[in-house]
């Protein structure tokens, strides 16, 4: 038996499942279009008419209008309650149905009608609030244009997005939106992703780079090869994942369920006891009436909807700012975060490393060192590898039998020579020890190159700190949250970058599994979040109380595995989503507290006859309306703490956008980040 009330997640007592699905998916556009509110208005009119007619002396006619009002008000929940009762489901609607029928049986038509009016209003407002938040999420799909221009058989044709197939070539003119995901075949442009990632700075894009559904072409005309059908585009996946997330229960919601579920049958037993004992000690009709009032007073409808509605509002609002929060559990944990552990590369840094210096040993040249390194890195997708390949300026020779040693480096064969490339420590720096130390102190990542067990040289690669990183870290500290850096890079480089960002706790030279083990000591008993790229940091993301993937737009692994996925590349979205989750958790606790307080106060007052049915109904439904209104507040953005201006950090709302990147685990280089 459940404690179902009005929420969309559980079987309802007020309407059929089909009706509730219609509410959740296609909720009325206007408040007056909500069925429950229409019936409540009709019942209120009939009740007022009956009261006026009764005053004129036609009491029987007035009673008839009052009875009709009770029927109209009860039509929103009585039929569904009876159907659920046949399925052995007892919920809040069952209590209300018993109270309404009992009031009619006792001749209290006005009270029965008032119960129907107020309960219907509360249900209608809840359905409207849920429908409105879901419409806001579904509106993301409205970013997809109704038609797409496609080049087929050398002719341009207009097709519906659902007709696009992988391999089609879309033509995007300036100002047009992409109908699905694809890769630019020809042309250069700037893409506006603000509606998807929450970042307002356009992203420069050219051949070979990704275009996501809903992106606006802000530059020249481009041709895009379709890589996913519209139904499986990144935008469609976002909407689907968030809709699923809204239905996931957090600990607060489970707490509300644990309280509400046994409360319903318990209330029914209490009402029977009150009626039975009262019948023995006093007038049976008086105590039966009080038992009915207790049924209404103890109804946990406000408690049952207090957390689910807050989750729906908060998760939907977060998704519209580029943050995917995977349900109530993740939202609640995110609201309790006390420590944030941050990966270095791609999170604190731009993930656009470049070679800043090449140091050969005596007898070797810079070109020789770079060529050998490029031969090993030619098939790697690691960011440091790309920096080395970019520095060569030409297609390098490719080494054979290249093998990655995760956390250390690469080894392979080229022209009968054995090559190694990796981090200092795995390869001894020898005569370059002082140069390596100096470069690391300057914040560069250094890799050493060895040929036939002889040191050939060192290459320094630096990935610049994100301009907004110091501001974001300050805002995190302003929320009372500690920060730490976890990285596989060397201690000197990590410390230099952490100092620039404003992070004092640094743990460097960590393997992926070391990062996961480090989290428990960092948390100090507090809830801890790990922020990374969703691939190389997978063990730490899974171990943390909340795993947060950074720059996850279009990245299946990051979106699916992380508890929270930040779709954009601006680190300032991190303190924003932390503040939003804290606010939502406060709203949850307020709603649960208010709901329990109302039940606790009303039960004794109803049992001893201090409050009648009409008064209890009014107070109870007013509390439900307050819970609904408070839950909607969870969708509002919360201002971040004021922080001192940080040199080099841009002010919001402009955001620093970049191309999302992923790194397959063990893909090469030294995994030093």
Check 343, 482, 533, 570 and give the catalytic one.
343
Question: b/e map of 460-492 (b: 16 or more CB within 10 Å)?
Answer: bbbbbbbbbbbbbbbbbbeeebbbbbbbbbbeb
Quote the distance between the C-alpha of residue 296 and its chain's center. Answer: 36
State the Cα–Cα distance between residues 34 and 552, nearest whole angstrom: 38
> Quick check: 50 and 65 in contact, CB under 8 A?
yes
Instruction: Copy the structure tokens of residue 403.
Output: 């093998």
**343 is annotated as an active-site residue:** yes
Q: State the Cα–Cα distance between residues 556 and 547, nearest whole angstrom.
A: 15
Give the contacts of 249 (CB within 8 A, at least 6 positions apart): 9, 257, 308, 327, 328, 329
Strands 354-360 and 203-205: unpaired
Q: Distance between CA 172 and CA 571 in Å, rounded?
A: 30
Q: Which residues contact 30 (CB under 8 A, 6 or more apart)?
A: none
Residue 638: Cβ-neighbour burial (10 angstroms; 0-12, 13-18, 19+): middle
Tokens 């442009």, residue located: 189
DSSP state of 180: S
Strand (E) positions, 463-545? 482-486, 505-507, 527-532
Please tell me the distance from the alpha carbon of residue 259 to that of residue 519, in angstroms, as a whole number: 33
Catalytic residue set = 343
């Amino acid at each position: 038996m459940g404690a179902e009330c009005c929420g969309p997640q559980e079987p309802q007592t007020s309407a059929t499942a089909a009706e509730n699905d219609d509410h959740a998916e296609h909720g009325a556009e206007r408040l007056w279009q909500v069925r429950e509110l229409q019936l409540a208005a009709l019942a209120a009119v009939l009740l007022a008419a009956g009261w006026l007619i009764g005053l004129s002396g036609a009491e029987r006619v007035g009673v008839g209008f009052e009875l009709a009002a009770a029927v109209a008000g009860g039509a929103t929940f009585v039929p569904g309650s009876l159907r659920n009762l046949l399925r052995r489901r007892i919920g809040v609607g069952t209590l209300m149905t018993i109270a309404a029928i009992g009031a009619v049986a006792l001749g209290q038509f006005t009270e029965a009608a008032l119960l129907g009016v107020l309960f219907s209003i509360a249900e209608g407002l809840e359905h409207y609030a849920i429908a409105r938040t879901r419409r806001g999420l579904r509106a993301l799909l409205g970013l997809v244009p109704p038609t797409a221009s496609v080049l087929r058989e050398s002719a341009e044709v207009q097709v519906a997005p659902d007709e696009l197939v992988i391999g089609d070539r879309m033509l995007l003119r300036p100002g047009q939106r992409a109908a699905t995901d694809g890769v630019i075949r020809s042309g250069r442009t700037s893409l506006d992703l603000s509606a998807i990632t929450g970042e307002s700075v356009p992203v420069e894009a050219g051949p070979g780079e990704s275009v996501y559904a809903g992106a606006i072409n802000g530059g020249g005309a481009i041709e895009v090869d379709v890589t996913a059908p519209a139904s499986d585009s990144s935008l469609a996946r976002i909407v689907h994942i968030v809709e699923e997330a809204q239905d996931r229960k957090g600990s607060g919601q489970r707490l509300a369920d644990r309280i509400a579920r046994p409360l319903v049958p318990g209330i029914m037993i209490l009402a029977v006891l009150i009626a039975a004992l009262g019948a023995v000690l006093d007038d049976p009709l008086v105590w039966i009436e009080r038992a009915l009032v207790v049924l209404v007073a103890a109804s946990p409808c406000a408690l049952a909807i207090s957390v689910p509605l807050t989750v729906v509002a908060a998760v939907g609002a977060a998704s519209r700012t580029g943050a995917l929060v995977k349900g109530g559990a993740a939202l609640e944990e995110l609201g309790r975060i006390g420590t944030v552990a941050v990966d270095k590369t791609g999170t604190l840094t731009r993930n656009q490393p470049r070679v800043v210096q090449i140091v050969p040993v005596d007898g070797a040249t810079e070109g020789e060192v770079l060529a050998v390194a490029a031969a090993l890195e030619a098939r790697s997708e690691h960011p440091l590898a790309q920096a080395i390949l970019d520095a060569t300026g030409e297609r390098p020779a490719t080494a054979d039998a290249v093998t990655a040693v995760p956390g250390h480096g690469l080894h392979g064969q080229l022209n009968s020579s054995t090559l190694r490339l990796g981090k200092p420590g795995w390869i001894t720096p020898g005569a370059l020890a002082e140069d390596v130390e100096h470069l690391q102190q300057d914040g560069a990542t250094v890799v050493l190159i060895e040929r036939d067990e002889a040191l050939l040289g060192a290459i320094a690669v630096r990935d610049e700190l994100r301009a907004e990183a110091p501001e974001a870290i300050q805002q995190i500290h302003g929320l009372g949250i500690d920060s730490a850096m976890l990285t596989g890079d060397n201690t000197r480089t990590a410390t230099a970058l952490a100092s620039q960002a404003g992070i004092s706790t640094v743990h460097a030279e960590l393997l992926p599994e070391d990062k996961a083990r480090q989290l428990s000591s960092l948390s100090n008993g507090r809830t801890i979040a790990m922020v990374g790229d969703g691939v190389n940091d997978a063990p730490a993301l899974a171990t943390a109380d909340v795993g947060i993937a950074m720059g996850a737009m279009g990245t299946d692994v990051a979106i699916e595995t992380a508890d929270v996925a930040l779709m954009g590349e601006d680190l300032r979205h991190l303190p924003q989503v932390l503040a939003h989750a804290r606010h939502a958790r406060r709203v949850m606790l307020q709603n649960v507290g208010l709901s329990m307080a109302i039940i606790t106060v009303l039960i004794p007052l109803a049992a001893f006859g201090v409050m009648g049915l009409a008064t209890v109904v009014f107070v109870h439904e007013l509390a439900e309306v307050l819970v609904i209104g408070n839950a909607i507040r969870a969708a509002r953005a919360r201002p971040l703490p004021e922080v001192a201006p940080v040199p080099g950090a841009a002010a919001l709302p402009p955001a620093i956008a970049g191309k999302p990147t992923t790194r397959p685990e063990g893909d090469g280089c030294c995994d030093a980040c």
